[in-house]
Amino acid sequence: MQPFRDLLSDTPEQYRPTLTLMADWTEELASTNHNITAATYFGLAGDVSLLPRLKDENVGLVTLWRYNGGKPAISFWRSVFEWRAPHSIARTERLIGKPIGQGTTTKSGDTRTSHRDRECLPVRILGGTADVQQKAPPRRAAPLRYSGAHRRNDGSPFA
């Protein structure tokens, strides 16, 4: 967390409130919920990301970005939403003004929400972990089925 905060002094003034909110939200989430951890990662192009993750599976619903130049953004991970917070999908899509995909990114200023909603987007979307299932149900692999349609290289069926 601290490396992300250290960059705020070098960030254009217009982006500082949103980035500060992202850092505060992530830090509060990690400190108040034993199942959440947070990490800061530095990209090769100068971007920095905050990753609030669920410890039990090491997955996150979002990645919070500070792009090179300071612009904030949020990437949403639909598969994690479907698995851990399915009831938050509609609300999140309404707030960002588009469907969540795998890595859908919303940058500061490109949503259909009001200015105040944009500034509070991570908090308004996830508002803590109330909608997140605290323990994921066990994943089940699909059963393997032999359809009889498999053939050898020469075209003859397997016996």
Find out whether 50 and 27 touch, Cβ atoms under 8 Å. Answer: no
Domain count, the chain: 1
Query: Residue 52's closest CA among 30, 31, 34?
Result: 30
Segments forming the whole domain that contains residue 63: 2-126
For residue 147, is it within any domain?
Answer: no
For residue 74, is it within any domain?
Answer: yes
Tokens of 31: 């400190």
Residue 79's SS3 state is helix
For residue 71, is it within any domain?
Answer: yes
List the pLDDT tens digit at each of the 159 positions of the chain: 788 999 999 999 999 998 998 999 899 888 988 889 999 999 998 899 999 999 988 999 999 999 988 999 888 899 999 988 898 889 888 888 888 888 777 765 444 443 444 444 554 444 444 445 455 445 544 444 444 444 455 555 544
